[in-house]
Amino acid sequence: MLYRGDEPLFYLGEFPVRLITLLVALRSAAVIIGALFIAAGHQSLLGFFAYDSTGVTHGQIWRLVSYIFVVTPDLYLWFLIDMVMLYYFGREVENGLGWQRFGILYLGLVLLGPLMLQAFGYAGIPQSFAGAGVVDFAVFAAFVVMHPGAQFFFGIAARWVFVALLAVYSLKLLAGHDMPDLLVFISSCLLAIFLMRRSGFNEPLFGWSIQWALPGFRRPNPRFSVVRGGLSAAKPGPVVSETKSVPPDAEQEMDRLLEKISSKGIGSLSTSERAALEKARQVILQRGGGGSSR
């Protein structure tokens, strides 16, 4: 059976469990358990899972990952908002890449910060932190690469929301002289953007692009490939206007989507699948064909 990007990680009964769903559930469960430990007077145990460069140096390598499950009580409200946003944007990115490649992207973002800060620790500047706010923002950056023109508050495009948030948080870190954290923050966003570009999402991020015409400069072919069926799983290369994009087999594509609707409901269709369904319908009408009768 051909793997499609919209396939879930596994099914819990009839409920499809995606990787992003599992991540949000695990992180939420960890916060609840942490709150119970704090209520029982064992708050010090949480520090055993936060990232600490000195602890990693002494062999506590689990801290390179476990820090994402640690949230202090003063950030519980923000954590709730963060999980809602992570699920929304992460689901889009997972649908575009497939759960395996999304897992690679997320794990890379999780490890990037601690590994960079570990270098400061070895240089005699100990580092420590907890929480995955930077990782989650980088997932939003990946979403923006997929859908830079998506409409947000008051009709503002996603690209400008990203730029505004990036600037505000960077200024906050600069004002606090948190240069290591600023370096991690910028690097995480750049890594997410780079991997999404390598995946074939090549729509100009800010509405324009630079084409190299000099000898020796050639646009590389995507290596971090896109899985068929994702929200924006277009073929790698320049973005083509939807009005000019014609499915190779409109009837077959419509049959596949209608079969999915009949088995899982119309709500199971992603944004790109709904667009593909409408596109296939238009092509069939233009051909004068009857299409599928289901």
> Which sequence spans correspond to the domains of the chain?
19-198, 242-287
- Residue 92 buriedness (CB in 10 A; 0-12 / 13-18 / 19+): buried
pTM value is 0.68
Q: pLDDT for 108-142, tens place per residue?
A: 999 999 999 999 989 889 999 899 999 999 999 99
Per-residue pLDDT reduced to its tens digit, 52-105? 999 999 999 999 999 999 998 888 888 999 999 999 999 999 988 988 999 999
Residue 292 is classified by DSSP as: -
Q: Are 126 and 54 in contact (CB under 8 A)?
A: yes
Predicted local distance difference test score (pLDDT) of residue 227 = 42
Residues 6+ away with beta carbon under 8 Å from 232: 96, 146, 147, 201, 272
CATH number given to 19-198: 1.20.1540.10
DSSP class of residue 157? B
**Beta carbons within 10 angstroms of residue 136's beta carbon:** 22
